[in-house]
Amino acid sequence: MKEITYYYTDELNDEFSGVERESVVVDENFKFIPKSILWNITAFIWHRILITPVAFFSKHFVFHQRVYGKKKLRGFKGQYIIYGNHTNIAGDGLLPPTFIFPKKPYFIVNPANIAAKGTKNMIMMLGGYPTPTTLKGLRPFEQGLKHLLDHHHPIVIYPEAHIWPYYTHIRNFRSTSFKYVIKFDVPAFSFTNTYQKRKFFKKPKMVTYVDGPFYPNKELSGKEAEKELRDRVYNQMVLRSKNNNIEYKYHYEKKEKQDV
């Protein structure tokens, strides 16, 4: 297999998924939590009856995933926010529901994920929850998040924001999304996907480590509390990432920005 080298300059913004992104407006008129009975019945069929078996099959026979620490999620009744590293185009959507099961998680996603014609309802039925593109959309967005947590749906966030396939380190990420742990008074967890060698196959197995709960430091306030919580989660993910022992398909090299 020929290795592909990606050159990056900006860990926060470079994207290597190869997916073309379209624009879409997510504002105060967007239905973050559809209430139609037909919509919800269809969502149940899509998520639980059709996709969940595919996810479990993929877990065992495509990604060969092992998960350590998922018992840590028990006892929280689905009321938590969990942060992961963004390294697999298909797996990052399919696999978290298998270790969060039987709770249905919702994924905070870039609104471009629902922009393609005919995919909006399907992605949202499977748990996609787009971020707003306008300031007026922020309030209903946050109200929807609270509704989901109150109804025992975990929230999955990929704070790195962009997919770097099979990347074996943890990229720098912002603390912005950690404000929801504080705002909604729920614990944070992390999951770190690593890639490890298999004896007789070139394709690695995915080994995932779940850690937490992490609680904000209540002696701090505002941005300081967000940053301190982000740093603890980040450091734990960095520690777990040391269990990567193979570089598969892609090699990443940092390229210094050139002055224009």
Tell me the CATH number at 229: 3.40.1130
Label residue 97 by pLDDT band (50, 70, 90): very high
In a domain, 49, yes or no: yes
How many whole angstroms from its chain centre is CA 15?
15
pLDDT digits (tens, 9 = 90+) for 121-177: 899 999 999 999 999 999 999 999 999 999 999 999 999 999 999 999 999 999 999
Rounded to two decimals, the pTM is 0.94
Is the pLDDT score of 197 beyond 60?
A: yes
Q: Residues of 46-63 as b/e, b for ≥16 C-beta within 10 angstroms?
A: bbeeebbeebeebbeebb
pLDDT digits (tens, 9 = 90+) for 203-232: 999 999 999 999 999 999 889 999 999 999
Q: Which domain holds residue 63?
A: 4-254
In a domain, 247, yes or no: yes
In a domain, 40, yes or no: yes
In a domain, 259, yes or no: no
Pairing of the two strands 188-196 and 205-214: antiparallel
Averaged pLDDT of the chain:
93
In a domain, 180, yes or no: yes
In a domain, 31, yes or no: yes
* Spatial contact of 80 and 191, defined as CB atoms under 8 Å apart: no
Residues in the chain: 260
Spatial distance between the Cα atoms of 85 and 159, rounded to a whole number of angstroms: 7
For the chain, the domain total comes to 1
Token pair listed for 76: 């929280």
Spatial distance between the Cα atoms of 204 and 171, rounded to a whole number of angstroms: 21
pLDDT digits (tens, 9 = 90+) for 173-192: 999 999 999 999 999 999 99
* Spatial contact of 172 and 12, defined as CB atoms under 8 Å apart: yes
